[in-house]
Amino acid sequence: MGPLLSMKVLIIGNGGREHALAWKISQSEMVDEVISAPGNPGTAQCGRNLPDLKVEDSVGIVRAAKAEDVGLVVIGPEVPLCLGLADKLREAGIKVFGPGAAGAQLEGSKLFAKELLDRHRIPTGGWRRFDRAGAAKDYLENAESWPMVVKADGLAGGKGVFIVQSCEEACSVVDQIMEERQLGDAGVEIVVEDFLVGQEVSIHVMTDGETIVLMDPVEDHKQVGDGDTGPNTGGMGVSSPVGWLSQRVMRQIEQRVLIPMLHALRVEGIPYHGLLYAGLMITEGGPQVLEFNCRFGDPETQAIMRRFNSDIVPYLLATADGTLDKCEAPEWDSRQCVGVVMCAQGYPEQYRRGEPILGIDSAEAVEDVIVFQAGTRHDGHEVLTDGGRVLAVTGMGKNVNDARDAAYEGVKKIRWNGAFCRSDIGLRPKTLSAKAKA
Ligand SMILES: Nc1ncnc2c1ncn2[C@@H]1O[C@H](COP(=O)(O)OP(=O)(O)O)[C@@H](O)[C@H]1O
Ligand SMILES: [Mg+2]
């Protein structure tokens, strides 16, 4: 006899985050098939792909979810969430992990998030809103301390935030965003924010709007070069848990940020069934919100899934159903996970695609190593590079050094023309003064 409840789960997206989710969900006793749309060669190892479905195609996704009679849809990326895919699935009577368009605005509009934070007195850096370049530049000309932070209001795929060191630089960024519209409609309005000094951490919670299930913290390495140098990327590597983050600060995060956010969503009448990701700066005065995301982080999810020891599907379903209060706290692997992202030469600028990748199997033969694919595609039996961030090699160990050793042992086995990665993932904390210079 099979398990009593046996269902199909549909995962939307095709990155490393979705491979990690597919890997974890496919281990559930409650699931007999994981379907990924469109998926990648990694998710294909965990189930079946629907390669022709685009994440923006909500009509097609609703149709596929019905035709396959899936028990749950998990939406990975922010774009379909902001387009209201979760609303459309729910209207069709399908269970879904992911907020509707109203909740997704927390990520889709930095202004929306900032206004909500201020209305509910949740700590975040001081800020001003501008819908005209001239007014923004006047304000920046009178700024008293540098750097400052200029953010495009809308979704910009990680390219909408500029830390500017001088008035001149700030004004040129304002022109690029607002006059030249280099980020399209994302730059119709901007937020100018005070620069916060501290240590950054990513906090993920699953929430149904009533209850939160806190996930272990993750540290992401955003800049492309060792020692946090060079331009920002989508994320070059992760480490979890975060050794320097004390229990006291975790309690502050819950009490000053997460619980007030839940309250804010409730009183504003915003239903939320999915993942709420708080990007935080831990400053001398405590945690400050940098931003919210309305979905799992990438590559944070790769580390979270490796350390999440409980079956994740009951949590995803309870989030969708609004019954998270019935769930016990999940069990976590007490070991450290380090995930190293391997990139294509040139990333985050122009890079080449279509390089054959060798050695994924040998990397996974290393004890405690799992490789999650992101920018890859199949060509016959070969796996080719098909993105800037190509894959993440995750290693586990009893401490950061052991986890790093495992991950980098795996990295050594993988080869393609132009592959590179950072060599210092997991090595933190950096000093506060180094951060201020960045
Ligand atoms: N107010 C701030 N002070 C200091 N650094 C910031 C500030 N806002 C953003 N950053 C830095 O810029 C990065 C990107 O900003 P974020 O708001 O997370 O935008 P996104 O992820 O949408 O690009 C953050 O991870 C952080 O390193
Ligand atoms: Mg961010």
Residue ranges of the chain assigned to CATH 3.30.470.20: 199-413
Domain with CATH 3.40.50.20 in the chain: 8-100
Closest CA to 98 of 87, 108, 109, 106: 87
375-392 burial: b if 16+ Cβ within 10 Å, else e: bbbeeeeebbbbbbbbbb
Torsion on CA atoms 206, 331, 328, 268, rounded to nearest 10:
-20
Residue 141 phi/psi, 5° resolution? Answer: -65, -25
CATH 3.40.50.20 fits 8-100, yes or no: yes
Mutate which of 238, 290, 293 for ligand 1 pocket (most atoms within 8 A of beta carbon):
290
- CATH 3.30.1490.20 boundaries in the chain: 126-194
Phi then psi dihedrals of residue 274, to 5 deg: 175, -150
Phi-psi region of 98 (alpha: psi -120 to 50; beta: other; left: phi over 0): left
Q: Is the peptide bond before 80 cis (omega within 30 degrees of 0)?
A: no
Minimum-distance ligand to the CA of 157?
A: 1
Check: CB of residue 395 under 8 Å from CB of residue 305. no
Query: Residue 163 to residues 109, 146, 197, 232, 302: CA-CA distances in angstroms?
Result: 18, 9, 12, 10, 28
Is residue 94 within 8 A of residue 62, CB to CB? The reply is yes
Q: Which CATH architecture has domain 126-194?
A: 2-Layer Sandwich (3.30)
Task: State the distance from the centre of ligand 1 to the C-alpha of 290, rounded, in angstroms.
Answer: 6
Tell me which of 79, 82, 291 to substitute to probe ligand 1's pocket, judged by most ligand atoms within 8 Å of the beta carbon: 291
Gap between the Cα atoms of 330 and 310, Å rounded: 6
291 alpha carbon – ligand 2 mean position (Å): 6
CB 50 within 8 A of CB 23: no
Q: Where are the beta strands (DSSP E) in 39-109?
A: 48-49, 72-75, 96-97
Q: What is the pLDDT along the chain (438 residues), one digit of tens a residue?
A: 445 578 999 999 999 999 999 999 999 999 999 999 999 999 999 999 999 999 999 999 999 999 999 999 999 999 999 999 999 999 999 999 999 999 999 999 999 999 999 999 999 999 999 999 999 999 999 999 999 999 999 999 989 999 999 999 999 999 999 999 999 999 999 999 999 999 999 999 999 999 999 999 999 999 999 999 998 899 999 999 999 999 999 999 999 999 999 999 999 999 999 999 999 999 999 999 999 999 999 999 999 999 999 999 999 999 999 999 999 999 999 999 999 999 999 999 999 999 999 999 999 999 999 999 999 999 999 999 999 999 999 999 999 999 999 999 999 999 999 999 999 999 975 543 344 433
Q: Could you please state the CATH topology (level 3) that the domain comprising 199-413 is classified under.
A: D-amino Acid Aminotransferase; Chain A, domain 1 (3.30.470)
Mutate to test the pocket of ligand 1, among 149, 161, 292 (most ligand atoms within 8 A of CB): 161
**Nearest residue (CA) to ligand 1, atom 16:** 291
